[in-house]
A and B are shown apart, each in its own frame.
Chain A
Amino acid sequence: DQQVKQNSPSLSVQEGRISILNCDYTNSMFDYFLWYKKYPAEGPTFLISISSIKDKNEDGRFTVFLNKSAKHLSLHIVPSQPGDSAVYFCAASAYQGGSEKLVFGKGTKLTVNP
């Protein structure tokens, strides 16, 4: 059973417009969320995170929104740039069973067209 779901395998956006990547989770114990970006032939790199005590965190062009009641988070990129084209992974973490659990989604491939 997938605890972290990224239901859109791919997304295509025009340069300069907003990209919105979505992520849903099922485990209410998750209380910290992270987004990673992955270019081909490279490992994922950390992008931005948010704690469950917040509903928004912003870093430059990147903003993450968290809706705890809906168990939903989203990553907004504005304005989108061609260099943002990559696979974006959502991850959720929690203390569970005496240890930290980190669960990743399958990823969404973002293509930003010039």
Chain B
Amino acid sequence: ETGVTQTPRHLVMGMTNKKSLKCEQHLGHNAMYWYKQSAKKPLELMFVYNFKEQTENNSVPSRFSPECPNSSHLFLHLHTLQPEDSALYLCASSQDRGINQPQHFGDGTRLSIL
């Protein structure tokens, strides 16, 4: 299997639930990203990991907690989310962290908060 794989593809959860989104890349990349795409809004960068170290947190609420155990895996732990958190969550990876590095995206997890 190649590319960037995200699971689950769809997730419905209540506001008090705890769930995790998983991302796995088989490209040998060193940088991984979480993005949020809400309806009619641009992609918003949430977190960046480079060589397993978090290098950016773009003012994301603490109810989103990322984890990067190794360069191939990235998780987004979700806890007590709000209805406005319903969105498409995309994971991406790139060879390195750099402005000229194209990112490879997964197909996303469509999250719905009840």
Residues of A whose CB lies within 8 Å of any CB of B are 2, 4, 31-32, 34, 36, 41-46, 49, 51, 89, 93-95, 99-107
Contacts and interface: CB of A to CB of B under 8 A. Distances in A.
Contacts of A46: 102-104
Contacts, number: 51
Contact of B42 (A31, A32, A93, A105): A105
Given A49-B100, A94-B99, A99 B55 contact: yes
Contacts of B105: 36, 43-45
Majority secondary structure of chain A interface residues (helix, strand, loop or mixed): strand
Given A43-B4, A43-B108, A99-B55, A2 B99 contact: no
Contact of A43 (B42, B55, B102, B106): B106
Contacts of B69: none
A34 B43 contact: no
Contacts of A93: 99-100
A89 to B, nearest CB: 7
Contact of B99 (A4, A31, A43, A105): A31
B90 A106 contact: no
B8 to A, nearest CB: 14
A64 B94 CA distance: 22
B107 interface: yes
In this complex, the member of A2, A4, A36 whose beta carbon has the largest number of chain B beta carbons within 10 angstroms is A36
Contacts of B6: 43
Contacts of A103: 42
Contacts of A43: 4, 6, 90, 92, 105-108
Contacts of B104: 45-46
B106 A51 contact: no
B99 A100 contact: yes
A77 to B, nearest CB: 18
